[in-house]
Chain A
Amino acid sequence: MAGTRRAPERRRSFLIDLPEEILSEILLLLPPKYILRCGAVCKALCNVASDHAFLLAHHRRQPPRRLFSFVRDVGDYPDDLGLVDYCVEAVDLRIHDFRSIVRFTAGDYDCLEGNSPFAIHAACDGLLLMSFKRLLYLCNPTTRQWVSILRPALRHNTVMGLYAHGSSSEYRVLYCRHNHGKPLFFISTVGSEIERGIPLRSARAQGAKRATAAAMAESSRAAVRHAGLEIPEDLMADILARMPATSILRFRAACKCWHHRTKDPAFLLTHHLCQPAQPLFCSRLNVKDQDAFRMGHYCCLELEAVDLPPRMVVRFKGIESIQFNLLAVHGSCDGLLLLSNLDAHFVCNPATRQWARLPRLPPPHACRIAGFYAHAASGKYRGSLPTQRP
């Protein structure tokens, strides 16, 4: 309608006609300065350029910069004013260049005597939670904007983290303070000044140390719950796949959704494929359990993989030392090992150090395993037995 009323010579830019997703793809290629300028050009561009998802995507495309916080007088005030420009700089490792990230101007020099008046407490999505002389600020170095944050007050509280709350797209600060020796945890939403306590689960009749541990676990769970919402599922799996197996196992304890996610067979397979290949080398007698060994009850057998240094892969306890000669590896598939000792077959997962005894198989001396494979449709693993020739 508006188009027909307008004079015919009033042109329209082709940019306006582009679908929003193409427009945002184009704007993603621009340096931050020009994204800001686009905000002034027209409403449509401004809408795309100020969209939260777009800004986050743009931030992720920027090269990572290491933050260095130190005090430097970067201002050119006359000496008699007694003003100093303090600045936090980031170093760009690729071009060996320092970039000023945040600047503060203050009127005295006391900070030069030792403790820096700056502290960076947390960072999230390119935002920095930092303090200058115990006053807390949330800064956006890209747009050079900042807001003052009143809660938590640093005099009594310690900042634990800053995170984006997925469903409300608010930023929240997690912090703790000590009350009669016990830590209490709180969350406050940036800009709201309201704080919310996190109730502790098991602070009753336990030492202060135990309570701290529980509180930490509780708070990290809370943070994880929020953080987990923010990161897309596939990206999360991508990150987790690059972690060592022990970390994955620890993550399982952190929260329920991660527990399910890291137990997914598809994920475990991806993770295994990311691990370095470990050719199996030898089995040897381990003398770590010396007491038991001396008593003559059992010895430990270890299977080691060649990786420098050698790594323990599987450990068996046998009644008699002679058994270690009979430890045999029959096959491997997706990081699982099919093993046998004197009287049974086992499937072991060296990464998680779990194992399962295979039921309904003839004893190892009476049969020979031909192969071990994953059955695609059922997701189960199968061993194949050739017809036995005694």
Chain B
Amino acid sequence: MAAPESGDGNNGAARMVTLISSDNTRFEVEAAAASLSQTLQLTILDGGGGGGDGIPLPNVDSATLSKVLEYCIKHAPAAANGGAPNATAVDRAELERFDNEFVNIDQSVLYSLIMAAHNLEIEGLQSLVAKKVADMIKGKSPMEIRRTLGFPDPTPEEQAEMNAHMLEYGWAYE
């Protein structure tokens, strides 16, 4: 994993922190990347997570955590620059491409990603996954929404309710 930022200049190398997932896998990442999480930021500022300690994250499993960290590492340089001023259009387009591909995932992974983003309070990731789910709903009929989001087929009474609703707001289905 490339580290283009030289960090705060401690011994010339970026400061690393260790995160421990719920199934006891250890992940070592740059402090700048982990600090995208509001939850971790304070601990890291206090000097936690360094050396052999590690920060335990009992709510996040290793598969999800590696996915989350992939996002953090990609977005950390842009966040460190404060976003706009230095970022070229190419950089931004590249991030956008990455984001689009990043959320192109299985629904169970998406679910754990949503929960992890909220637990760790990573603002960018939160809005990214929320937008993904919103896009899955947009432009579809109720039946399609049910299928896309993995609902079981409706029971007869559910179907009746659905029809009644569609009758009430007919224009919304034009």
Contact = CB atoms under 8 A, between A and B. Distances in A.
Interface of A: 10-15, 17-19, 22, 25-27, 29-31, 33-34, 36-42, 143-144
Interface residues of B, number: 33
A366 to B, nearest CB: 51
B11 to A, nearest CB: 39
B111 A40 contact: no
B89 interface: no
Contacts of A38: 137, 142, 145
A192 B171 CA distance: 29
B149 to A, nearest CB: 5
Contacts of B133: 15, 26
B152 A40 contact: no
B172 to A, nearest CB: 4
A40 B149 contact: no
Nearest to B158: A42
Given A37-B145, A37-B172, A42 B110 contact: no
Given A18-B111, A42-B151, A143-B169, A27 B145 contact: no
Nearest to A143: B169
Given A12-B150, A17-B111, 12 more contacts: A11-B151, A14-B111, A26-B130, A30-B134, A30-B137, A33-B172, A37-B145, A37-B169, A37-B173, A39-B169, A42-B151, A143-B169
B107 interface: yes
A42 to B, nearest CB: 6
Interface in B117-162: 118, 126, 130-131, 133-134, 137-142, 145-146, 149-152, 158, 161-162
A57 to B, nearest CB: 14
For A11, A12, A37, the residue with the greatest tally of chain B CB atoms inside 10 Å of its CB is: A37
For A34, A36, A40, the residue with the greatest tally of chain B CB atoms inside 10 Å of its CB is: A40
B166 interface: yes
Interface of B: 107-108, 110-111, 114-115, 118, 126, 130-131, 133-134, 137-142, 145-146, 149-152, 158, 161-162, 165-166, 169, 171-173
Given A11-B152, A13-B150, A18-B111, A40 B171 contact: no
A36 B170 CA distance: 10
B15 to A, nearest CB: 32
The 9 A-B residue pairs with the shortest CB-CB distance in the complex, in nearest-first order = A14-B111, A29-B134, A40-B165, A40-B142, A36-B172, A13-B150, A13-B151, A13-B149, A40-B162
14 contacts: A13-B150, A13-B151, A14-B111, A14-B149, A15-B133, A30-B134, A33-B172, A36-B169, A37-B137, A37-B140, A40-B142, A41-B142, A41-B146, A42-B151
For B126, B131, B142, B161, the residue with the greatest tally of chain A CB atoms inside 10 Å of its CB is: B142
Given A25-B130, A37-B172, A38-B137, A18 B165 contact: no
Contacts of B150: 11-14
Nearest to A45: B145
Nearest to B149: A13
A15 B149 contact: yes
Contacts of B126: 25
